[in-house]
């Protein structure tokens, strides 16, 4: 294979992990070394974003001179769709489009149409909501089923500080309303909670969306990548979040919707909806993780906290058959040992890892 590279925290490049030979192609990926099956594929369609969120794409690292990928380096829509079909053959049931900010990818609706033609796929997208109001109807018409919107506070000053961009909260809320009107429901709203930054926004966020039919999911601040200055002291445990909300609006735990669901569900006891908490730091869910991640240039990662990936683009553009690619994916998954959140320490948090803006959340 050719020598391919992936971005890491300091902007330098590193070699990908080796792909094994193509003989003896397995028919199905099966389980990894810890008995976990492949069910979810997250596809990053761009490494660019118009926000500079402090936990994902801090401005002092991802400034105006940051070397984003050239258009020729990105997987084409045809290449993404081809890989999605191969992954479907290994048991993938859900595809989530991510970024960067996926709605910055030109003509994304065309990709959604192509993916929607694959039978049996649950097709979703995560966005910062900045252009969702303009695109919601077209996304739905193309075949998108649901959206998740990132929103870290309803307070204007806190919101702008968290995303480090001159952009109003009202426009994100307009995007959520437009997505709901277009039928992209149920809408999930992701709030990353960081101590000293936006924990005071937890209760107002819960109150605002209670009874709306939307589901707010509160996410513990994680050490994805190596540029966000993560410290354990900055983490607001999900148990604390549930207590804060439950003291004002009583909650009861709900059963998961499916095996491997990352969010722990809590229902309002008055029947007015639910919230979720994602506890990657304090209650690791590695043991049920069914997710693989495909970067915008075709690197396959088997963990959000990976240090390197496997180059599938070189196979796509080098004449490999679908069977060859399928075999490589199966062997990668079967050899998977990832359980980073279970072994996280202050020292592992310092390791160079793929940035969230590159791999998607």
Cβ-Cβ contacts under 8 Å for 248 (sequence gap 6 or more): 203, 207
pLDDT of 304 above 90: no
Specify if 1 maps to a domain.
no
Specify if 35 maps to a domain.
yes
Specify if 131 maps to a domain.
yes
Tokens 């974003």 belong to 49
Query: Measured between alpha carbons, how far is 143 from 111 in angstroms, rounded to an integer?
Result: 10
Q: What is the pLDDT of residue 3?
A: 35
- Global pTM reads 0.90
Q: What is the pLDDT of residue 223?
A: 75
> Which pLDDT tens digit goes with each residue over 157-168?
999 999 999 999
Domain count, the chain: 1
pLDDT of 226 above 80: no
Starting at the edge strand that comes first in sequence, how are the strands of the sheet with 122-127 ordered? 251-253, 264-268, 274-278, 215-220, 188-193, 146-150, 122-127, 94-98, 40-44, 291-294, 299-301, 310-311
Strand bridging mode 146-150 / 299-301: unpaired
Q: Tell me the longest C-alpha to C-alpha distance in the chain.
A: 60
Range of the domain at 110: 6-359
For residue 52, the domain's CATH number is 3.20.20.70
Q: Please state the rounded mean pLDDT for residues 96-124.
A: 97
The three-state DSSP-derived secondary structure of 226-253 is: CCCCCCHHHECCHHHHHHHHHHHCCEEE
Phi, psi of 270 (to 5 degrees): -85, 5
Q: Please state the rounded mean pLDDT for residues 306-326.
A: 94
> Which pLDDT tens digit goes with each residue over 39-65?
999 999 999 999 998 888 888 888 878
Specify if 41 maps to a domain.
yes
Specify if 70 maps to a domain.
yes
Q: Please state the rounded mean pLDDT for residues 93-102.
A: 96
């Amino acid at each position: 294979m050719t020598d391919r590279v992936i971005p890491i925290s300091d902007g330098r490049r590193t070699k990908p992990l080796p792909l094994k030979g193509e003989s003896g192609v397995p028919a199905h990926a099966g389980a990894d070394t810890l008995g976990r099956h492949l069910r979810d594929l997250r596809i990053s369609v761009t490494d660019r974003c118009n926000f500079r969120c402090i936990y994902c794409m801090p401005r002092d690292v991802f400034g105006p001179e940051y070397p984003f990928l050239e258009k020729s380096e990105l997987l084409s829509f045809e290449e993404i769709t081809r890989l999605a079909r191969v992954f479907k053959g290994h048991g993938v049931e859900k595809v989530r489009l991510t970024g960067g900010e996926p709605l910055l990818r030109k003509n994304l609706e065309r990709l959604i149409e192509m993916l929607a033609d694959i039978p049996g796929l649950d097709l979703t997208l995560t966005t910062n909501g900045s252009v969702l109001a303009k695109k919601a109807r077209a996304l739905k018409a193309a075949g998108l089923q649901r959206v998740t919107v990132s929103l870290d506070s309803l307070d204007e000053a806190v919101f702008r500080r968290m995303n480090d961009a001159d952009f109003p909260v009202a426009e994100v809320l307009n995007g959520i309303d437009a997505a709901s009107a277009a039928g992209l429901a149920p809408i999930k709203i992701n709030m990353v909670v960081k101590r000293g930054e936006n924990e005071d926004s937890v209760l107002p966020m819960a109150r605002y969306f209670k009874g709306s039919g939307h589901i707010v999911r509160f996410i513990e601040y994680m050490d994805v990548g190596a540029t966000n200055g993560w410290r354990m002291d900055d983490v607001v445990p999900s148990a604390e979040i549930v207590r804060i909300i439950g003291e004002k609006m009583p909650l009861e735990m709900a059963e998961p919707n499916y095996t491997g669901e990352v969010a722990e569900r809590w229902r309002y006891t008055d029947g007015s909806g639910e919230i979720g908490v994602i506890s990657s730091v304090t209650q690791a869910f590695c043991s049920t993780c069914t997710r693989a991640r495909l970067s915008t240039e075709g690197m396959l990662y088997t963990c959000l906290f990976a240090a390197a990936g496997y180059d599938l683009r070189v196979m796509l553009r080098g004449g490999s058959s679908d069977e060859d690619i399928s075999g490589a994916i199966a062997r990668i998954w079967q050899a998977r040992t990832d359980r980073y959140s279970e072994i996280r320490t202050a020292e592992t948090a310092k390791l160079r890892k793929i940035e969230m803006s590159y791999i998607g959340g």
